[in-house]
Amino acid sequence: MTIAQESTATQRIVPFLWFDDNAEEAARFYVSIFPNSKIDGDVSRYGDEGLAEPGSVMVVPFQLDGQGFLALNGGPEYTFTPAISFFVRCENQAEVDYYWEKLLEGAGEPVQCGWLKDRFGVSWQVVPSVLQQLIGGPDAEGASRAMKAMLGMVKLDVGELQRAYDGT
């Protein structure tokens, strides 16, 4: 068992991301953004029998805030879609701003309602934790106003969402 396999062996479900040929670059980008993150063990390399140049990166194990991931250089056959995204729960507007800006670095694309696509094509949702309380709150009219406000946003704004809920 390799070090990479040992580090993800205790985690029952491990997201496995298929990149064309930039898995290591993507993993290093992600670990530079999130706290408690690292490349988690040995990077596996293709051998003579592999699908890519012998010695080139095959699988990169990494952790984002303690969550294990594996990144594969599998070639151009598959690409990411927004059908799968990673949800980043933020405690305040400063965290929303930080993750939004960092994940967009290097030609990422903002989408809407807190969604963005990073430069590798991976979709992320950068969402303040208060959003669920506002759109699911006890005031049905306030929840409706907060939902309408959220649907009109690209990056989510905690203050605007709260003002919409409050009707101010």
Same domain, 69 and 126: no
Same domain, 100 and 157: yes
Report the C-alpha gap between 16 and 13 in whole angstroms. Answer: 9
pTM of the entire structure?
Answer: 0.91
Range of the domain at 61: 3-73
Residue 28, Cβ neighbours under 10 Å: how many? 14
Which of 47, 73, 99 is the last residue in one of the domains?
A: 73
The answer to whether residue 129 sits within a structural domain is: yes
The answer to whether residue 78 sits within a structural domain is: no
Same domain, 110 and 61: no
Burial of 165 (0-12, 13-18, 19+ CB in 10 A): buried
Structure tokens of 96?
């929303």
* Total number of domains in the chain: 2
Same domain, 63 and 105: no
The answer to whether residue 79 sits within a structural domain is: no
Q: What is the pLDDT along the chain (168 residues), one digit of tens a residue?
A: 444 444 566 789 999 999 999 999 999 999 999 999 999 989 999 999 878 899 999 999 999 999 999 999 999 999 999 999 999 999 999 999 999 999 999 999 999 999 999 999 999 999 999 999 999 989 999 999 999 999 999 999 999 999 999 999
Same domain, 63 and 90: no
Paired sense of beta strands 123-128 and 85-90, if any: parallel
